Amino acid sequence: MESVRTCVGCRTRAPRASLLRVVAVDSTLIPDERAAMPGRGAWVHETSECLDAALRRRAFVRALRVSGPLDTQTIEQFLQRKRLNGYGHEVNGSK
Ligand SMILES: [Zn+2]
């Protein structure tokens, strides 16, 4: 049976393979691409829509049970990089 997680952005349930695990390390949100980092994790689609929605409603703070503001720079840069890589790099044909 496939594990299903709920995206903290759009609140849709999805197979964990299609979601990005996010953890908080020293109040910084870190993308955990291999889903191997210890501690609590939050799951979110790798889209700026879901990330923004999660940040707006402070879903990460709740899901990760951290107090205070989180540094989102790392994860925003990560998503930006993903988006850039998505453009014009379909030559290698990884679908
Ligand atoms: Zn989502």
Are 4 and 16 spatial neighbours (Cβ–Cβ below 8 Å)?
Answer: yes
The 10s digit of each residue's pLDDT in 30-64 is: 999 999 999 999 999 999 899 999 999 999 999 99
Q: Whole-model pTM? A: 0.84
Distance of alpha carbon 88 from alpha carbon 68, whole angstroms: 39
Rounded to whole angstroms, the Cα distance separating 28 from 60 reads: 11
Ligand 1 mean position to 21 CA, how many Å? 12
Q: Could you tell me the distance, in angstroms and rounded to a whole number, from the CA of residue 8 to the centre of ligand 1?
A: 7
Q: ∠ at Cα 84 (83, 87), nearest 5°?
A: 95
Instruction: Please tell me the distance from the alpha carbon of residue 94 to that of residue 58, in angstroms, as a whole number.
Output: 33
Q: How far is the CA of 54 from the centre of ligand 1 (A)?
A: 9
pLDDT on residue 93: 46
Q: Which two tokens stand for residue 15?
A: 């197979």
